[in-house]
A and B are shown apart, each in its own frame.
Chain A
């Protein structure tokens, strides 16, 4: 699986958009980009994932560059409850259980009042 690079920490004002970048320059054509977050050492929570196209769901938007070498997770209106560690992961989307998620250090997002 491709390695990812994320900033160690970021701050965001409550109510503003939080834009979390992720570099995955060695991503392969069949690898998906997944985003998870972890709040207060709870179990990781799935947010969103994509392959080529931009994606949006009730939690966030995912913007993937045309060359797929980087992506940005957007939380449109950050709240204090969005304070968490956010993990960007790339994984082959094949039917192979061995393609487990590899979690790096992630980005610690602090949403401030």
Chain B
């Protein structure tokens, strides 16, 4: 079972470059999420999508854009990367049923020089 798949796993960018992180889930979940995790910190929510065609800001949305391409895919775009965006990015999905947990991908490690 693939679950939540993120690509790429690692990436190095120069300041000012743009990049799109990809996320896909095969569990037919309604909602999808993007988090970032800085060293020694917990996860912080960037954006989420309750359903196909909708997106909403989370705790730290500045500098990012998202697209819910279809029910399976939710992408995160950095238009002009900054060193402060160096982090590990996690994608997650959820059925929105109370008894079901969120499922997470293995992360994308992004370094911006």
Residues of A within 8 A of B (CB): 32, 34, 36, 41-46, 49, 87, 93-98, 100-106
Contact = CB atoms under 8 A, between A and B. Distances in A.
B42 A103 contact: yes
Contacts of A36: 101
Given A34-B101, A103-B42, A105-B42, 17 more contacts: A32-B98, A42-B106, A43-B90, A43-B92, A43-B105, A43-B106, A45-B104, A46-B102, A49-B101, A87-B42, A96-B50, A97-B94, A100-B58, A101-B102, A102-B42, A103-B35, A103-B43
Contacts of A98: 48, 50, 56
Contacts of A96: 50, 96
A36 B107 CA distance: 16
B107 A42 contact: yes
Given A97-B31, A103-B43, A41 B37 contact: yes
Nearest to B96: A95
Nearest to B50: A97
Most-contacted residue by chain A among B49, B88, B96, B102 (CB, 10 A): B102
Interface string B30-57: 1101010100011111001111000010
B98 A93 contact: yes
A75 B30 CA distance: 32
21 contacts: A32-B98, A36-B101, A41-B37, A42-B106, A42-B107, A43-B4, A43-B92, A44-B90, A44-B102, A49-B101, A93-B99, A95-B96, A96-B50, A97-B31, A97-B50, A97-B51, A97-B96, A98-B56, A105-B41, A105-B42, A106-B42
Contacts of A49: 99, 101
Contacts of A94: 98
Contacts of A93: 98-99
A97 B30 contact: yes
A37 B96 CA distance: 20
Nearest to B98: A93
Contacts of A42: 106-107
